[in-house]
Amino acid sequence: MRYVITQGQLHRVVYKYLDNIFDGAEPLNIPNPYSDNTYRMELRSKKNKMNVTYYYYGPGTYDDDDDTKHNGVGELSIHADLIDTLRELISIRQTKVFDLISDWFSEKYNVDVDEVSIYPERKKPPVY
């Protein structure tokens, strides 16, 4: 059975779900030993599986993977199980889940999310 809900209702449902699975979890703030302008925040769910990790690359810092010089970029890496769970519960597309989780994280921890990725990467696409 399908229901039609408003955008505001969708945000409330997803935010409440995320608040519940991360209830009491405090992000681990991990500084980068090589740069004062770069850090990582890890948020672990109660069951320690559906994690969300935020990386901030300050202006003038480099990304180790591809030697890209950044101008202040925040990247959110979302565990694949969290994305799949929300897609199954609510039946929405993956890009919308990215938007909802990044909006929730931005509001909750007062950071800017510019890029979103899945970690760990899937070996094959999920079937819904």
pTM above 0.75, yes or no: yes
Separation CA 111–CA 85 (nearest Å): 24
Residue 24: predicted pLDDT: 85
User: For residue 42, which of 25, 59, 54 has the smallest C-alpha distance?
Assistant: 54
pLDDT tens per residue, range 11-32: 999 999 999 999 988 888 888 8
8 A C-beta contact, residue 10 and residue 90: yes
pLDDT per residue of the chain (128 residues) written in tens, 0 to 9: 677 889 999 999 999 999 999 998 888 888 887 777 888 999 998 877 789 999 998 887 665 566 667 778 899 999 999 999 999 888 899 999 999 999 999 999 999 999 999 988 877 766 66
Alpha-carbon separation of residue 121 from 79, 83, 103, 126 (angstroms): 9, 12, 22, 11
